């Protein structure tokens, strides 16, 4: 009996911005209509293009999606998430400074949140980040 070997999926690299305001709140945005997981809440960002660093991709994506220019991106954690549609390597960067006015250029929604987040549903790739925040902040209980 011949069984076809399934090729391992190559991960798609994605830069993710964890924007944190002076009060410690973090920004979540909803996924726009027409995208996989539309309506789910996530940290904003997007795929790296050929030759881009994580910070370059994050800077480009947040300007394209939100209309802001970010200050330094501080690499934080990397998480591999196996979605049904793609294997995604998420490069999370904390961002504490930005300029410009937020514009929802993809008809998404934004919400400043703290733990536990009040928006739902939360994208599976976002859940670990909420756990990292809980650990950093000594938060106990459900994060979402």
Amino acid 2: pLDDT: 47
In a domain, 71, yes or no: yes
| Residue 127 CA to its chain's centroid (Å) | 10
Residues 124/33, Cβ–Cβ less than 8 Å: no
Residues 84/105, Cβ–Cβ less than 8 Å: no
Per-residue pLDDT of 20-54, as tens digits, reads 999 999 999 999 999 899 999 999 999 999 999 99
Task: Phi first, then psi: give them for residue 5, nearest 5 degrees.
Answer: -80, 135
In a domain, 7, yes or no: no
Which pTM was predicted?
0.91
Per-residue pLDDT of 90-100, as tens digits, reads 999 999 999 99
In a domain, 6, yes or no: no
The structural domain count of the chain equals 1
Domain housing 80: 12-134
Per-residue pLDDT of 56-80, as tens digits, reads 999 999 999 999 999 999 999 999 9
């Amino acid at each position: 009996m011949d069984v076809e070997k399934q090729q391992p999926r190559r991960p798609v690299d994605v830069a993710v911005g964890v924007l944190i305001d002076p009060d410690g709140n973090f920004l979540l945005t909803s996924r726009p209509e027409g995208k996989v997981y539309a309506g789910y809440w996530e940290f904003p960002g997007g795929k790296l293009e050929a030759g881009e660093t994580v910070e370059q991709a994050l800077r480009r994506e947040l300007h394209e999606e939100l209309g802001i220019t970010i200050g330094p991106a501080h690499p934080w954690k990397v998480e591999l998430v196996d979605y049904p549609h793609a294997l995604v390597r998420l490069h999370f960067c904390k961002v504490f400074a930005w300029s410009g006015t937020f514009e929802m250029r993809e008809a998404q929604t934004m919400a400043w949140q703290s733990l536990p987040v009040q928006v739902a549903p939360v994208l599976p790739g976002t859940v670990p980040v909420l756990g990292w925040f809980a650990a950093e902040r000594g938060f106990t209980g459900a994060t979402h």
